[in-house]
Amino acid sequence: MKFDTNAVRGRSSPDPTTGAIIPPIYQTATYVLEEVGKDKGFDYTRSSNPTRQDLEEHLAAIEGGQYCIAFSSGMAGADSCMKLLSKGDHVVCCDDVYGGTARLFNNLMTNYGVEFTYVDSQDSANVEGAIQSNTKMIWIETPTNPLLKVTDLEEVGKTAKSHGLLYVVDTTFATPVFLRPLEYGADIVLHSLTKYLSGHNQLIGGALITNDSGLFEKLKYIQKSVGAVPSPFDCWLTILGLKTLHLRMSRHWENAEKIARYLEGHPKVSRVIYPGLESHPMHEVARRQMSGFSGMISFELNGGLEAGKRLMNSVELCMLAESLGAVETMITHPATMTHAEVPREERLARGFEDGLVRLSVGIEDSEDLIADLERAFKDV
């Protein structure tokens, strides 16, 4: 089936008992057994739940994968990937990574003896060059948060395969509408369901998708053992979000492209980062592996940090808030919000300036959003 059909229908069928088109919310902790040692496929919701199973099958379908494991947050999914490693193992990671991921890696996993090397993965040779004898995993975000760096997934996939390494790709910013990393050799795809996939700022969730049955069994065991599972209601809300994902992402992209070009031509803006712009250093790679460029923009103003603060404090329609990927447009100051725990010297070393502004472009009318920014620029 085509992607749009998969997005709407997933792999579900009408409820066999009632014929309900939308999967029911199985809001239960436990299930009655038919007899000792015989259940109906479910025994305890931490292990499995019909609504969660429906969501997992739906996510696997749109990602082009065989298996999916859903979690209570994207970070729970990331942490579960880390539990595939052991003391003394080494991970090669892209240098521009979500602040929560950096916190997990640098402040927690290092306590358990896992080592990390960060490289600019826009040059795939940097990934190859960082591999050590104890390297077990390559971790890539593309596009990255917040610098929107783009990695050539196929090239890095060849490196991972040649060295026998686990290859994990977080494409929360792109969504499977625009990029499906399993097609480029990824072993595991990570998504924060909080963002575009649910799409309405209404829940926290995460998911891992894979084609490898052995990895699936390990991750399923971790999910069951740790218990960081989404509630049936959150799963149901995410399923509803997935049914309009392709439509929403088209509008996010359309609006973001218009706003990125508006910002690029604005005299008070010194730098615009958006993979859909020809000025992006990895535009050609993005165009080759992505079918669209999504709704995330980062930019800097001529006045640096103070100018950025004035802009963010002056917008009205764009909401100053954490998170991204919802129908509402949100504006963020990453250095003090999403990436506050990343040391300043590390940020600056990779081109992440204090005044960087991140814009998660929603699906409102683009003319209204541009007018809101234009009004705010008058205060800068």
Provide the CA 258 distance to its chain's centre, in angstroms: 23
**Catalytic annotation present for 170:** yes
**Catalytic annotation present for 372:** no
Give the pairing type, strands 135-141 and 90-94: parallel
How far apart (Å, rounded) are the C-alpha atoms in residues 298 and 287? 18
Write a three-state SS string for the chain: CCHHHHHHHCCCCCCCCCCCCCCCCCCCCECCCCECCECCCCCECCCCCHHHHHHHHHHHHHHCCCEEEEECCHHHHHHHHHCCCCCCCEEEEECCCCHHHHHHHHHHHHHHCCEEEEECCCCHHHHHHHCCCCEEEEEEECCCCCCCCCCCHHHHHHHHHHHCCEEEEECCCCHHHHCCHHHHCCCEEEEECCCCCCCCCCCCCEEEEECCHHHHHHHHHHHHHHCCCCCHHHHHHHHHHHCCHHHHHHHHHHHHHHHHHHHHCCCCEEEEECCCCCCCCCHHHHHHHCCCCCCEEEEEECCHHHHHHHHHHHCCCCEECCCCCCCCCEEECCCCCCCCCCCHHHHHHCCCCCCCEEEECCCCCHHHHHHHHHHHHCCC
> Which candidate in 149, 180, 195, 309 is catalytic?
195
If we measure between CA atoms, which residue out of 119, 155, 113, 156 comes closest to residue 134? Answer: 113
> Which candidate in 9, 11, 46, 261 is catalytic?
46
Q: Which residues contact 194 (CB under 8 A, 6 or more apart)?
A: 73, 74, 203, 204, 205, 206, 323, 325
Residue with tokens 């259940």: 39
Question: Residue 192 CB: number of other CB atoms within 10 A?
Answer: 27
> Which candidate in 26, 31, 98, 184 is catalytic?
98
> Which candidate in 79, 95, 96, 170 is catalytic?
170
Residues labelled catalytic: 46, 98, 170, 195
